[in-house]
Amino acid sequence: MTRDATAAPPAARLLPRVLLPGLDATGSQHAAFSAAIRRHGVAVTVIAYPLDRALDYAGLAGFIQQALPTGTDYLLLGESFSGPLAMAIAATPPPRLRGLILSTTFARSPWRMWRRLQALLHVAPVRMLPMPALSWLLLGRWSSPALRTALGAALASVDADVLRRRAMAALGVDVAAQARAQVLPTLCLHAAHDRLLPARCQRHLSALLPAQASTTLDGPHLMLQARPEAAATVIAGFVRVVCAMSSSSRAERQDAALGHG
């Protein structure tokens, strides 16, 4: 069942959000989205991954753990390639993590039938798709010169071996068990015109998560880039829900402490 993630009472202080970006993982394509969600009062930090270190999912999880906030509560957003990382981290949540947001992503590789091709990726030219094909696949009718330029620049900035290793990791990933173990409030943001991920990925992910809100927006796979205002509105509404829940939990703990004093 789809629930409205925007229907929530206002919160006095909105929790900041930590963004784990998609395959290029540079964070350079998120300026418009970051600005849009800041207008809702939500601070955002992007954790960019190394440009020249070929890390698999396990290696990236360790890298991310070292970069997560330790002095404040926050929510974690995993976009596309980084969704499995966000779910794996949230399955055993760090002390200050209060909620999980998943944007156009998957718990199990949507291309499992292609796993036999993993060995070929060692020698495959990872930048073989021309920009018109990438634009059709990732941006669809929301493509623009600015978005295509940003996408091309982001991919070009990452070492080819790094992109290849990440593509290989995505082909074989399966964090379904970690998804089922989630206890944090979770928002799944799906794209109605996602040409990269088949619809079964959306259904599979939503079915796995026990405590989730689900919203489908009219947009492409690169939702945060192509529909920044719409995505920011939905996510900020979910952040307000989590803030209200956190405030209520703190008040209950304080009342309990006073009652036992």
User: What single-letter amino acid sits at 202?
Assistant: Q
Highest mean pLDDT among 2-16, 21-35, 167-181: 21-35
DSSP single-letter state for residue 140 = G
pLDDT for residue 201: 85
Q: Could you report the per-residue pLDDT of 206-235, keeping only the tens digit for each?
A: 889 876 888 999 999 999 999 999 999 999
Round the CA-based radius of gyration of the chain to a whole number and report it. 18
pLDDT for residue 110: 77
Rounded Cα–Cα distance for residues 112 and 115 (Å): 5
The residues spanned by each domain of the chain are 17-256
**Is 8:246 a contact under the CB 8 Å cutoff?**
no
Bridge partners, residue 99, by sequence: 75
pLDDT for residue 154: 95
As a whole number, mean pLDDT of residues 17-45 equals 94
Rounded Cα–Cα distance for residues 152 and 41 (Å): 30
**CATH fold group of domain 17-256:** Rossmann fold (3.40.50)
DSSP single-letter state for residue 79 = E
3-state secondary structure of 77: strand
Rounded Cα–Cα distance for residues 60 and 46 (Å): 14
pTM for this prediction: 0.86
Rounded Cα–Cα distance for residues 52 and 13 (Å): 37
pLDDT mean across residues, the chain: 85
Q: Of 198, 228, 189, whose CA–CA distance to 99 is shortest?
A: 189
Percent of the chain with pLDDT over 70: 82
**Is 60:20 a contact under the CB 8 Å cutoff?**
no
pLDDT at 89 over 70: yes
DSSP single-letter state for residue 97 = E
The secondary structure of 100-139 as a DSSP string is EEEES--SB-TTGGGGGGGGGGGTS-TT-S-HHHHHHHHT
As a whole number, mean pLDDT of residues 153-164 equals 91
Confidence of residue 13 (pLDDT cuts 50, 70, 90): low
pLDDT at 5 over 50: no
